[in-house]
Structure 1
Amino acid sequence: MSKTTILVVEDDMHLMEGIRDILEINEYNVLTATNGAVALELLRSQPRPPDLIVSDIMMPRMDGYDFFRAVRSEKGWLEIPFIFLTAKGERDDVRRGKEMGAEDYVVKPFDADDLLVAVSAKLKRRDEISRVWKGEISDIKRSILTILNHEMRTPLTYVVAYADMLHRDADDLSMDDIRSFLRGINAGANRLRRMIENFILLVELQTGEAKQTFDWRRNEIANYAALFGSTAKKYADFAMEQQVEIEIDVPDDLPPVLADGEYLSAALECLVDNAIKFTDRPETKVTLRAYEEDGYVCIAVQDQGRGIEEHEIDHIFEVFYQIDREKYEDQGVGVGLAIVRGVVHDLHGGIIELESAFGEGSLFVIKLPIVDNQSA
């Protein structure tokens, strides 16, 4: 196992050598530099960044503050813990270092134990954060693989199985059988398409590409009946399968909002998809309603489905978050509400509200500022 590497930046040669000796005696690998500029050159020449940096503040050419800012500006160095060395009584140095985000400081003059305790504590904390972060990443990867395994396999099974039967038994099938098989293929293909489109939109939202598109594509929208109608038509077959009725309630005189029609449709479709999907009882309704309230046009999607328990509500807009995945296998990939939040809040500057009663249903409301109350 390789030694822990520490970069020491100090213009006082005697002090720098003393720090180096203390650290090397305690089995640390030590790199040294006499100021921030030299330290940056040294960092860029290393195959891997050091595990910790100990830096003086007052130095020629580039002081500790400028060096710290330069280190934090590099993505590959962001996680390196940083300890400032400061003279006794220089409280401004301590305060400024903390404001900048330095992990710790050691006051000069110091003895070996003071330095070693600070170094050990920061390295231990870095390792703890790294373990937690790696564990979370591992959990996310596992969740994604589990979800994708189910969500891709199921619609592909529809497509492959029905296509295989059409190919093998075409001469013996009636026209009704063929239509039924084609509907199965179409259902599987649409499910895959929606999943892929949602992943693409999520990436666009998180990379900022969607914001750029929104800025040049947005325009005044007031035809909410058309928005609801196209969504209801798109989900008519799914609603019929679930024995759910889609009901629309839109007045004719609502004011316009500044929006992107495609992105707004995508958010509405995510809500409608969930509303239908999580309604287990037959002969129930999903209601799409629009109304004006307090300077906003409100777009509401209400269902009579499972509802959401109170302790889950704070998490459901997180990417890949799902409720009882082991129990409910119909949840999709867990990105729909994250897309809704991104489209409504991040792009349109709107608000998304949720009311839910477990076992009774949920009400999601998208609130978009009317044109008179926002800058174009």
Structure 2
Amino acid sequence: MKAMAKQSGLTLVELLIASTLGLILLLGVVQLFVSSSDSFRMAESIGRMQESGRLAQDVMGRTIRNADYWGCVRGSEVVSALDDGDSNYDEDKHSFDNPQALEFGVAPASGNFVAGSDTLILRGVSTVGISLDGAMNNSSAVLDVTSTAGISEDEILLLTDCSDAIIFQATGLPAGKKIQHNTGKGDASSGTPGNKKSGISWSCPSGGSANCFPKAFQSGDIYKAYSFSYYLEEDAATGRRSLKMETIGSNSAQEIVADVHDMQMQVGIGDAGDNVINSWLDVTNANLTTINSSYVKAVRISLLVRSPEDRVARQRQQVCFPAWTDCSLSANLWEPADANDRHYYRVYTSTYSIRNRLLNTGT
């Protein structure tokens, strides 16, 4: 009986104290979990934004650096046999008569374009290591070449002998290392316009074949022509914006990088034949005529990238965009229009030189 009398439980006060201490400890654990979760979400968002920014810079940077390459001729010496009267002819993709290698624009407030964002079209050719296998017959629709490896039917090609150059569509690849360039209607499935009989500065000889070129090339090299269009589009349902690209061989735009919220550009202008940039101009509607008629040697691109998830930042973000803005005054900082926007924003800016215009080649 005395042994049982010595045993006693917790008093109410002790129980309340223990419960309070337990609640404090639980609150600390929950707060630590929430803080860690928020930090993880922010780190993940920043990581994905960095990946998007770097990928966009890498894709566009390579094309900008290689733009305005036409083999051993200048762009002003290139003529086109593509049929500009065909329904599949697209001025942005197929304009290769004395081509404008870089063409800048500002997106309109129509369709799914991100109004006010800048657009860019880049043109040129790439090497495939194929040459004419002997002199061509100017009244024949077939070129004998050293190989057709790496070339597909309906591709847009360039033939040059370092004196003249012509852009044409490969309408067929007959057996025996041959490239066909027949005239006729384009192919809607590949979005190509086909070839025509005459061009701005040439026409077929009297009584000649409808498949002729400006001259009978005695020798020459074959290149692949390209045209890349870069712009931003917004999904009307989700408001999600992304960097899109269109090429010669595509009927629709391809999404390159998601969550690119805005894109602004500057161009460095100078004289041909040296590596000096005399001035920089913002790509705006007011400057487009000057820019697209000037000798652009470098392009500076500022990308505003947004985190995929909302409620990541603790307050509405303010960033210096585009990067060349004078942000010494807070009034010049960019911020989203929605006061409740809690996406995380970052700015990625790079400057790319156009290598074929910085060399003393006169191109």
Q: Which has the higher helix share?
A: 1
TM-score (norm 2): 0.23
Q: Which has the higher strand share?
A: 2
Q: Whose RCO is larger (CA < 8 A, sep 6+)?
A: 2
